[in-house]
Amino acid sequence: MNNKTIIPAWISEGPMDFEFKSYKMFSELEGLSAQLASGKLFYVLNQVDETLDYLYKYDGDRLTGGNGLADYELVGVDWENFNLQFVESDETLERDAVLDDLNDLAIDKFEALHAKIRTIWRDIESGVQINYVPTKPYFVASGFVFIITPDNIIHTYYFNKPSKYFTTSWKSFNLQHMQSNKFTEELYFKQVEELISNENDTIIFKVKCEKNIKVENNAIAIIQHKIYNRLKQDFSF
């Protein structure tokens, strides 16, 4: 599992100047807000989570003095005590001064955007109903998800059997889009009957999404989260 913290582009790119970094940060926030308004909730959530992970880590390292030796220059050796002598490089001091000034502001702004995401999330989630079809199976397996939206479209998704070795969180539990069609009872029951008649351990979910018609990169995040938690609870993988 890769836990590497990703440095946001607005921090890593360009000169280490407070005004420049502030401009790049606000530009990034404006762009993410526009994408959130256009329905790209899942993408924006991932970007904001990654940014806050970095900002929290930087803040923690700053408070605990957790900088690594890569931030220091070797200036000599104390042979009498067998100690290496380091000093912080000019580049590190400049970077730390800029990021120290910017970090608290950045955390406030990205947390505010995260709050907007949670508001949208809760609104969509309140209209999402998830049920096993016809009933919960005995064992965890791969499966299909039929999502019915208010515009009378049925969206079919597939997921691979989750396991504790490969599925580390709801974000790594991937629902793969297969097709979208005009919803009819006949079509829905035909698809379900075909899956059941195969006599395998396939898991089937029916999802009614009553408040949102945009599934891809939007309501799919909430559905993916809810199904993952349901499977985790029911099968303890």
**What pLDDT sits at residue 41?**
97
Nearest by Cα to 195 from 166, 158, 163: 158
Is 102 a residue whose pLDDT tops 60? yes
62 touches 103 (CB < 8 A): yes
* Mean pLDDT for the stretch of residues 224-237: 94
**What pLDDT sits at residue 75?**
45
Report the distance separating Cα 26 and Cα 80, nearest Å: 52
**What pLDDT sits at residue 3?**
57
**Residue 149 contacts by C-beta under 8 Å, 6 or more apart in sequence?**
155, 209, 212, 213, 215, 219
Give the pLDDT band (50/70/90) at residue 95. low
Nearest by Cα to 112 from 54, 42, 52: 52
What pTM, to 2 d.p., does this model score? 0.81
Model confidence pLDDT, tens digit, residues 182-215 = 999 999 999 999 999 886 789 999 999 998 889 9
Model confidence pLDDT, tens digit, residues 133-170 = 999 999 999 999 999 999 999 999 999 999 887 888 99
Give the pLDDT band (50/70/90) at residue 16. confident
Model confidence pLDDT, tens digit, residues 20-79 = 999 999 999 999 999 999 999 999 999 999 999 999 998 887 777 655 444 544 444 455
- 129-235 to CATH, choices 1.10.8, 2.60.120, 1.10.150, 3.40.1530: 3.40.1530
Report the distance separating Cα 176 and Cα 171, nearest Å: 13
Average pLDDT of the residues of the chain: 87
**Domain segments of the chain as ranges:** 9-124, 129-235
